[in-house]
Amino acid sequence: MVVKIPFCKPVFNKEMEEAAVNALRNERFVLGESVQKFEEEFAKYCNTDYAVSTSSGTNALHLALLASGIKKDQQVLTTPTSFIATANCILHAGATPIFCDIDDTYNLDPNKIIDRLTPKTKGIMPVHLYGYPCDMDGILDAANKFDLFVIEDACQSHGALYKGKKVGSLGDIGCFSFYSTKNMTVCGDGGMIVTNNESIAKEIEKLRNCGRSTWNEMDVVGYTARLNTANAAIGIIQLKNLDEWNEKRRKNADIYINKLQNIGDIILPPKEVDVKSVYHLFVIKARHRDELKSWLESNGISCGIYYPIPIHLQLIYKKLYGYRGGEYPISEKHSEEVLSLPMFPDLTKEEIEYVCEKIEEFYDERNVKG
């Protein structure tokens, strides 16, 4: 029998279906009661005063930048190791993304921030990549020293902890995505911002809803970036299960780490120091990444590469800013070696062991050395 192990498996169950149907039958399709309830529950979960939902994580980042007062010709510091939407949002807001290389946690390196700042830099947008929190103390120290706002891109890190605090709650604003591969999905596109700043929350509420200050009055140029009510109703159910799902991911990660130690040239995910990852992805590094990926896929194991091209080397950024390669060497090397293995809450111990056995076979049969 051919074994087939998917890369991820989004959850949709009867309780979510009933919640969505109930919302569709009894509430407005857009910005219904379930949206407000979801926002209240999400703010409580993150221990923030406010949460405002949006139609995507990308919109959450974009509107967060606008509400922070970013202006044309200003700059925002971020990482080149992320999905391109992180940097695109800075462009959408009229500003310029300035990249800062990563450290051995795969996240923005706080020690490199000062060298990347200019008089035009107004904010920092760190990304909690793969569910692993950034070194927020270092980032916040730099931000406080130079009076910069901090918008956390927590789109891959729902429920992750930094020194006991939920990511997203540490900077001025935190942004989340509910895209279908994330730890919670709302079964469709969606996003959320969290903040303790009332004026920012109210500004984003207007921006996401065509700039409305009242139903018929618009006092800013806004967008149509609202969350659908049925998706919010599903989100309420998923949020109740998020900690349990994340704990299952952590247990799966522990099995991987135990089985893959000292195999070939594999580098395992960074060790958790003062943080608690939620393993949105389980990412290893290997010099023979492409061959290993092909081998695993030939054995029925789905894999992913996040991200094979750093943002600064995407064609549009090379055209806009003249990047040629070599500017951010750690990020570039990272992109050549990372491989994401199957990871989702219902992944079984037996499935993980099969993946690890096939990885060991790859190194044994090819005599691949580290």
The per-residue pLDDT for range 14-48, each reduced to its tens digit, is: 999 999 999 999 999 999 999 999 999 999 999 99
Residue 225 has phi, psi (to 5 degrees) of -140, 45
The per-residue pLDDT for range 189-225, each reduced to its tens digit, is: 999 999 999 999 999 999 999 999 998 999 999 999 9
346 and 251 housed in the same domain: yes
198 and 318 housed in the same domain: no
pTM for this prediction: 0.97
Q: Which of 278-287, 297-306, 308-317, 358-367 has the lowest mean pLDDT?
A: 358-367
Q: Which helix (H) or strand (E) holds 353?
A: helix 349-366
The per-residue pLDDT for range 140-157, each reduced to its tens digit, is: 999 999 999 999 999 999
User: What CATH number did the domain enclosing 92 receive?
Assistant: 3.40.640.10
Q: Percent of the chain having pLDDT more than 90?
A: 97
- Measured on CA atoms in the order 10, 275, 123, 211, is the torsion positive or negative? positive
165 and 291 housed in the same domain: no
**55 belongs to a structural domain:** yes
**6 belongs to a structural domain:** no
* Vertex 165: Cα angle to 162 and 170 (nearest 5): 85
Q: Which of 219, 237, 255 corresponds to the end of one domain?
A: 237
**171 belongs to a structural domain:** yes
20 and 164 housed in the same domain: yes
At residue 3, the pLDDT reads 83
At residue 71, the pLDDT reads 94
Indicate if the pLDDT at residue 120 is higher than 90.
Answer: yes
Indicate if the pLDDT at residue 118 is higher than 90.
Answer: yes
**5 belongs to a structural domain:** no
75: its two tokens:
């700059």
**1 belongs to a structural domain:** no
Distances (CA, A) of 290 to 143, 170, 264, 297: 38, 37, 15, 11
Q: Strand, helix or coil at 233?
A: helix
Q: Which of 237, 258, 286 corresponds to the end of one domain?
A: 237
At residue 124, the pLDDT reads 98
Indicate if the pLDDT at residue 1 is higher than 80.
Answer: no
What's the mean per-residue pLDDT of the chain? Answer: 97
At residue 103, the pLDDT reads 97
Distances (CA, A) of 140 to 17, 67, 136, 256: 41, 19, 6, 33
Q: Which of 192, 214, 237 corresponds to the end of one domain?
A: 237
- CA dihedral (316, 322, 327, 331) in degrees, to 10, reads 0
At residue 86, the pLDDT reads 98
DSSP state of 147: T
At residue 368, the pLDDT reads 56
62 and 47 housed in the same domain: yes
User: What CATH number did the domain enclosing 351 receive?
Assistant: 3.90.1150.10
308 and 249 housed in the same domain: yes
The per-residue pLDDT for range 323-360, each reduced to its tens digit, is: 999 999 999 999 999 999 999 999 999 999 999 999 99
Indicate if the pLDDT at residue 369 is higher than 60.
Answer: no
Distance between terminal CA atoms of the chain? 32
261: its two tokens:
């130690």
Q: Nearest Cα to 82, choosing from 97, 94, 96?
A: 97
* Contact yes or no for 169/47 (Cβ under 8 A): yes
**335 belongs to a structural domain:** yes
At residue 366, the pLDDT reads 79
Indicate if the pLDDT at residue 370 is higher than 70.
Answer: no
253 and 317 housed in the same domain: yes
* Contact yes or no for 264/323 (Cβ under 8 A): no
Distances (CA, A) of 10 to 111, 246, 281, 301: 37, 13, 13, 17
Between CA 116 and CA 18 the distance in angstroms is 50
Instruction: Give residue 340's domain range.
Output: 243-366
Neighbour order of strands in the sheet with 275-276: 165-166, 161-162, 275-276
| Total domains, the chain | 2
pLDDT band at 365 (very low <50, low <70, confident <90, very high): confident
Q: Which helix (H) or strand (E) holds 206?
A: helix 198-207
**7 belongs to a structural domain:** no
327 and 189 housed in the same domain: no
Between CA 31 and CA 365 the distance in angstroms is 57
323 and 253 housed in the same domain: yes
**4 belongs to a structural domain:** no
28 and 165 housed in the same domain: yes
The per-residue pLDDT for range 48-86, each reduced to its tens digit, is: 999 999 999 999 999 999 999 999 999 999 999 999 999
At residue 292, the pLDDT reads 98
228 and 121 housed in the same domain: yes
Secondary structure string (H, E, C) spanning 1-49: CCCCECCCCCCCCHHHHHHHHHHHHHCCCECCHHHHHHHHHHHHHHCCC
pLDDT band at 287 (very low <50, low <70, confident <90, very high): very high
193 and 294 housed in the same domain: no
Q: Nearest Cα to 89, choosing from 225, 195, 218, 214?
A: 225
Q: Which residues pair with residue 194 across a beta bridge?
A: 51, 174
